[in-house]
Structure 1
């Protein structure tokens, strides 16, 4: 999804292998096993419960895991590589699949891919190709050709080790949907549904939150609400001030200048512990031997909301896991209430006046409380993800905008 891949350490990575030309963060794909455990494609049932009368268009875009090629899949799951792009970008081939009408379902097949399943209402999406690959929608840019289209997407990785499928609000909260998987034992796992009234609940909560949070909401000229941008994109558009997280970050830096922040990043490795202290304006972490293993400059709001830049998280065994933990602690505002992180109790999240209110409102309105409202929302198992090693079928359900 974007020019910067920001979620490289997550267990799901719908678009981690996408080219640098793409437009939003995604987690890293799980490694395939040596022996083929799954067929080349599996069925995806798409159900339109939106109640909308306008046509739906589907897209299955990503990177073919066996070759590393970018492309799209048609309704039968057949892969098509993108042609060469240009500078300026050239139109991409029409990869749309006509979706189900309101109240109906249809089944397509999805191939072994790391990518996204887009859906749009009323209009086809506009995709273009550069010399570096596919340019995906970036509606924080007012000149993006998809700015006035109602759309959303799911992320997935399907390989020989199984299916990872999620709903995401990392970039925006828009047309609601849920994802599901029929497991190898026949049971169904599903996530992503909002509570009744949850769609408007999120939007109304943002409108009522002081400090510019209502400015994240984008509407069409006719007044139709299209989406709420994530706070990181809100910084880009000027909806949120660059100083929106400064007070909390400053208090964290002050606290850990005189006390220790203990990070145990792996739930299954309780003896892997890192200790953080602020000195000279820098938070440095030591391992059990006392050796400094990594350090962080005081992060700004963009680094916090995007879990990148000053909170970069490489896919390694030290800095990445510590950074993921810090990112979750800043977004959920748990770093002052507990000096042992990660704090995985949802009752402790978003209790400070300075917090990621967007993530707070999204989680509050989810039927199961789970969402991908920021890049490392999987810390503590709060992500909206389904997974199975031998999936029989995947599901995408388009829900009402109410």
Structure 2
């Protein structure tokens, strides 16, 4: 896939903090807050080549829905895959629930449960919708139509207690993302995600140079599209690093990376991934990832993220280490797609 090049390619992309909080517009209709997706690709892609779409549960109806440009949640269905304007790839049809950055500067966001904003660069993502849910990208499926699509996502819920959301590296890394949340009272304005000084190519290079040998192939197995999480690479059952945590824990390496099965207790899973399981203080951040075996994939994202906060594995929120934001009176959400 070739990259779009424009005459502005040498110009720096706007910072996510360059938008004054006072300029965030009020939502319309049933909106609780407004959302903006920013182009931070430094000219690699135009605004019309960056796609985003929100899927989640409408709390008023209990139906899985997608967000339209008017800020309304429209119910999804199996029929949506064949509706006018649908997407097609490899002879199969997919629902078109996407917008381009160029379509609108801000969109109202109503209350939504288990919301996921898919971010797709150069091409939309290909997601099958059904009457009772959807089938998102599956990077373990060798025939998944999204394997050669640059994509990432942000997760959030907007409910009666406010906005709760995060960026995540639990499954992989597609491109740098910054996630900014501003409140109405004017006393909350925070950003998480990868550092804006990082580039996608730079992160791939740094990853190869900084992680131990066991973790290096995670950046090559699905290159150039993504760096995958350990469980999706050589640490899966039957693979060369399937017993990586043997000798440090009697739990399976797969359960540890997934925080599943015997490692389903959040604090235990976090302590093993961070290699502090045998320490007396599991909350001492300065001791995290000091020795092997440890989740050096997760460590890498902490090392290259704002305030060293990242969701490198499922329970990385233990001891407040995740790239997570929440506020009771949300005004605006700004997502910057970087490159």
Same fold, TM-score > 0.5, yes or no:
yes
Match in the other structure for 1:391: 330
Superposition TM-score, scaled by structure 1 size: 0.67
Do residues 58 (structure 1) and 52 (structure 2) align? yes
Match in the other structure for 2:316: 377
Match in the other structure for 2:137: 137
**For the residues of structure 1 that align with 2:134 and 2:220, how far apart are their CA atoms?**
24
Match in the other structure for 1:192: 193
Q: Which runs of 5 or more structure 2 residues have no equivalent in the other structure?
A: 1-28, 81-91
C-alpha displacement of 1:389: 0.3
* Secondary structure of residue in 1 paired with 2:248: helix
Taking a change above 3 Å as real, the CA distance of residues 197 and 390 of structure 1, as seen in their structure-2 partners, is closer
C-alpha displacement of 1:219: 6.8
- State how 1:1-400 maps to structure 2 within 5 Å: 40-51=31-42, 52-54=44-46, 55-84=49-78, 91-100=93-102, 106-114=105-113, 115-129=115-129, 133-187=133-187, 188-194=189-195, 196-197=197-198, 199-200=200-201, 202-208=203-209, 209-218=211-220, 225-234=224-233, 235-236=235-236, 241-249=241-249, 298-312=250-264, 323-336=265-278, 338-340=279-281, 343-399=282-338
Taking a change above 3 Å as real, the CA distance of residues 230 and 183 of structure 1, as seen in their structure-2 partners, is same
Task: Indicate if the aligned counterparts of 2:77 and 2:132 stay in contact, CA closer than 8 A.
Answer: no
Superposition TM-score, scaled by structure 2 size: 0.79
* Secondary structure of residue in 2 paired with 1:118: strand
**For the residues of structure 2 that align with 1:162 and 1:350, how far apart are their CA atoms?**
34
Taking a change above 3 Å as real, the CA distance of residues 240 and 332 of structure 1, as seen in their structure-2 partners, is farther
C-alpha displacement of 1:95: 0.4
Taking a change above 3 Å as real, the CA distance of residues 124 and 61 of structure 1, as seen in their structure-2 partners, is same
Q: CA RMSD in A?
A: 2.5
Q: Which runs of 5 or more structure 1 residues have no equivalent in the other structure?
A: 1-37, 250-297, 313-322
**For the residues of structure 2 that align with 1:358 and 1:365, how far apart are their CA atoms?**
11
Taking a change above 3 Å as real, the CA distance of residues 346 and 195 of structure 1, as seen in their structure-2 partners, is farther
Task: Indicate if the aligned counterparts of 1:47 and 1:100 stay in contact, CA closer than 8 A.
Answer: no
TM-superposition CA deviations, 1:106-138 (whole Å, max 9, x none): 211222112111111111110113575210001
* Secondary structure of residue in 1 paired with 2:225: strand
